[in-house]
Amino acid sequence: MFYKPTWWKEAVGYQIYLKSFKDSNNDGIGDLNGIREKLPYLKDLGITLIWICPFYKSPMDDNGYDVADFFDIDPSFGTLDDMKLLIKDAHKLGIRIIADFVMNHTSDEHAWFIESRKSKDNPYRDYYIWADGKIVDGVETPPTNWASFFGGSCWKKDILTNQYYMKIFSNKMPDLNYKNPKVRHEMMNVATFWLDLGIDGFRIDAVAHLGRKDELIDSTMDTLGKYKPDWRMFSNLPVIFDYLREFKENVFDKYDIVTIGEVGGGATPEEALRYSNLEAGSLNMVFNFDHCWSNNVWDLNKKEQVVVDLVNLKKNFRKWQYGLYGKAWTPIYWLNHDHPRLISQYGDPNNIYLSGSMLGSSLYFMWGTPFVYQGEEIGMTNYPFRTIDDFNDVQDKNNYYLNDIENSPNKDEYIYLMGIKSRDNARTIMSWDSSKYAGFSNVKPWFNILPNHKEYNVKKALEDEKSIYKHYREIFKLRANPKYKDTLIYGSYKQLLPRHKDVYAYVRIGNKKILTVSNFFNKDVNVSIRGYKVKKVLLSNYDNPNKALTNLTLRPYETITYLVE
């Protein structure tokens, strides 16, 4: 075995968007006690690690990623005592918990920022990034032409001191200044507080953006629009690794934890290795997004069907599986709280069980630590957005109003296209049963319930003879099986048929060989896989799967995992 065994390499993760998971006190908002109530459900699925989205005190401009107090729980989610009970009960069931560590920014209602904006010589001024505007053709403009991820400029003018603060996300989320050692010390105290409370690690939000170009110069990117989406100006810069090394040496190394960075900004495997390589990386692994958009959703200009580009998807899988294996560790996941729903993105809303189970086997037998996103295991789909009032996401609303879509003749088309890509799809209410409020609460929830929750919900998934939930459970049982663990967790990955437009096939190689082959489309596909002999079928989403790899006919969305030699 190449890798040293550790608990987080063998874990099966599950991401919880707290606000939408389960409401225990009937106020319409998911909470910590709601998670505690559903721990047996997660245990039964095979989950051993929970990642909880931000639960800190927050004005909720971006649903908790705008933190007003890192040392307390938002009252809508519960209390510190509730968190202690959740950790205790989860640990009893063999489930560890990691928190979302929001390092890049705070809320503008955080005490540090309230002080920082009072005057240019305030002791907290340098906790954030402030700069003067510039005069262009007699008009004041922001310090640079860099765009924000949420639309518009990444700078916001503050009238108290007539300077601009940097905010690469929302106006209400000013960026922290990591050049300031006091900021790094404060945030190390935050990490230590939660680890001492019993948290088992962190998913570090927006870790790629902790550094900024030293010179505040305009981007020369050749794109339309006043503000340039030139993420290189504040993504994956060398200074980040100095900051993270400081966190590792002073905090992370003192605990038996896992640390996972969110690395956006167009990171490559080579850049990811700077974060997480086995020898000198400051993090255990990083999330990347290359495989999340291997379809045509960004190119649609009318109500066309979303189509998977399987060759591109396989290319992205190869890039990261080959690029990191033996050098680092990796998480494997289909989506998180910032992406459309899996069935709508890569599956088939008219064939939810078959396409959903196929997608599960296609990914979760690969190399890496699985992370299931809440509702994925029951086939939750995108929401049918019809008006801007159906949306909650600050990013979508910003873009809608900045582009004056309300008065556009193409408003309906814009709403449709925004809807199929929207982060809000992942944030709809978890479908627990077929009741009025989907078993989430006894009162109307804070956000949308899927119209198809009566047909696709947890209660039905547990009752049905075949369901995505039960298929996922079998995947995770096989990963944990001592017979196959060396191969499915620690073994290498070899992709087969890389240019085939309909079929994804790969083999895992350890002390055994395990081959998975999947038909990504709603049609019969004939394929031949040579060089392997079937010993046993381990899992399929159809009855009576074919045991011959040569001249193999795969039925619509069929997936088969074989023990081979």
Reported as a single tens digit per residue, the pLDDT across 309-346 is: 999 999 999 999 999 999 999 999 999 999 999 999 99
d(CA 453, CA 455): 5
Write down the mean pLDDT value for the chain.
96
The tokens 């909720």 sit on which residue?
60
Judged against a pLDDT cut of 90, whether residue 296 lies above it is answered with: no
Rounded mean pLDDT of 113-137? 98
Judged against a pLDDT cut of 70, whether residue 265 lies above it is answered with: no
User: How confident is residue 23, by pLDDT bands cut at 50, 70 and 90?
Assistant: very high
Structure tokens at 192: 């230590």
d(CA 205, CA 396): 20
Number of Cβ within a 10 Å radius of residue 6: 12
CATH architecture, domain defined by 492-564: Sandwich (2.60)
Asked whether the beta carbons of 11 and 333 are under 8 A apart, the reply is: no
**What is the 8-class DSSP label of residue 153?**
B
Structure tokens at 503: 């079929």
Structure tokens at 422: 């929207």
Between 193 and 413, residue with greater pLDDT: 193
pLDDT given at position 304: 73
Structure tokens at 77: 């989610």
Fold of 111-166: Oligo-1,6-glucosidase; domain 2 (3.90.400)
User: How confident is residue 267, by pLDDT bands cut at 50, 70 and 90?
Assistant: confident
Residues taking part in catalysis: 205, 262
- Contacts of residue 116, defined as CB under 8 A and 6 or more positions apart, other chains included, come to 122, 124, 125, 127, 128, 130, 165, 174
pLDDT given at position 541: 99
Between 410 and 537, residue with greater pLDDT: 537
Q: Range with the lowest mean pLDDT among 23-37, 214-228, 421-435?
A: 214-228
179, 223, 460, 562 from 467: Cα distances, Å: 51, 46, 8, 20
User: How confident is residue 299, by pLDDT bands cut at 50, 70 and 90?
Assistant: confident
Judged against a pLDDT cut of 70, whether residue 74 lies above it is answered with: yes
Domain locations in the chain as residue ranges: 13-105+181-386+428-469, 111-166, 387-421, 492-564
Q: What percent of the chain has pLDDT over 90?
A: 94
Residue of 530, 537, 535 lying closest to 564 (CA atoms): 535
Rounded mean pLDDT of 506-534? 98
Rounded mean pLDDT of 102-110? 99
62, 386, 495 from 401: Cα distances, Å: 17, 16, 45
Residue of 97, 87, 12, 91 lying closest to 47 (CA atoms): 12
pLDDT tens sequence across 156-201: 999 999 999 999 999 999 999 999 999 999 999 999 999 999 999 9
Judged against a pLDDT cut of 60, whether residue 403 lies above it is answered with: yes
Asked whether the beta carbons of 290 and 318 are under 8 A apart, the reply is: no
What's the pTM? 0.96
Q: What percent of the chain has pLDDT over 70?
A: 99
Judged against a pLDDT cut of 70, whether residue 1 lies above it is answered with: no
CATH number of 13-105+181-386+428-469: 3.20.20.80
d(CA 244, CA 286): 13
Structure tokens at 532: 């392997």
Asked whether the beta carbons of 80 and 42 are under 8 A apart, the reply is: no
